[in-house]
Structure 1
């Protein structure tokens, strides 16, 4: 039976790891798991995953260490799943070129759409695997997350990191991926700002 793709899942919390492995397997993905950074790098070398889902803070090598290895040596795209969303963490996530940054607690209704979106980006050529994290020109109007963060910052007088966290919580509450939540918000804003019909 063919799978929808191979995912390396890394988390030092065995319950979280089991939940993710079960949920992703049930959704049709082949899952390789590891509960520490060293094993994650070994699995990435031998099993060649299509995508990695990484916890950030672990004993020994962190998720950031694993991500740096995947980017430099394996050209494996990655996402983070973490309880942390402070400004320093978000900055590091961006600097490493992650496809997404999901916030714990684990909710498969949030994770599965985000994983599916990541595979679409990888396979659709939107984000070539060899260039993950590399700077590239992009249309500023094509990034709904950045625009939605700006809208929330302006409307509620919030700093960027707080606005992003508010959007993440809304996405989790609605069971949507962050990008889908931001697109919903922008659609509503555009509807409200459209001129009334004569």
Structure 2
């Protein structure tokens, strides 16, 4: 992902090491990202309440609220994706990062050559998660809006052996391309299926009488 080629992405850096924060902010700024820094979890929470970053880098070990505790807060109260930063290479920190749903993991001391690839991979994963969340929200909204949409999604799942999200996305995209509401397309699909079933019954009865 080339940050300079599009709207700048905001990265929040959270660590009690001010020199490391300055180094990370400088590297990311040169790469075209917008950065914000916080020296504690409490400061990070205040900044996130004002503006949610595209990605947060959290030091696991900090005085007061740890990075793990901050990660739990982010998961429960925000949509912010996060990476972990740790000075421990014993494997336990990496396992904790995975358990907490981190999109990336960096070890101290920071290897400058690996820094940007790690951030770009983390941002890509964060974008995937946000898209999945948006799809799920849109899907739930559509399904709760009418029985027709729910039945149509189920019909597409069965006919094309698709998962629920894919079935909904195909139905939604067709509605958009035809400039109609999704429930209208769903209703038409169900009516067509009902007609096909009726015709199938008619054909079956004629075959039996021959």
TM-score (norm 2): 0.57
Q: Between Structure 1 and Structure 2, whose CA radius of gyration is higher?
A: 2
Superposition CA RMSD, Å? 1.9
Alignment of 1:46-57 (within 5 A): 46-57=50-61
Number of residues paired by the alignment? Answer: 129
Q: What is the CA-CA distance between 1:75 and the residue it aligns to?
A: 1.2
Q: Could you list the runs of 4 or more consecutive aligned residues of structure 1 that deviate by over 6 angstroms after TM superposition?
A: none
SS at match of 1:102: strand
Larger relative contact order, structure 1 or 2 (CA cutoff 8 Å, min sep 6): 1
Match of 1:40 among 40, 44, 49: 44
Deviation per residue, 1:106-130 (Å, 9 max, x gap):
223211111111222233x3x3367
Q: What is the CA-CA distance between 1:16 and the residue it aligns to?
A: 0.3
Tell me if 1:128 matches 2:130. Answer: yes
SS at match of 1:21: helix
TM-score (norm 1): 0.60
In structure 2, stretches of 5+ residues that fail to align are 134-210
For residues 108 and 3 of structure 1, do their structure 2 counterparts lie closer, same or farther at Cα, with a shift above 3 Å needed? farther
Aligned to 1:4: 8
Distance, in Å, in 1 between the alignment partners of 2:15 and 2:131 is 23
Structure 1 or 2: larger helix share? 2
In structure 1, stretches of 5+ residues that fail to align are 132-198
Q: Is the 8 A contact 1:11 1:58 kept in 2?
A: yes
Match of 2:72 among 62, 65, 68: 68
For residues 88 and 122 of structure 1, do their structure 2 counterparts lie closer, same or farther at Cα, with a shift above 3 Å needed? closer
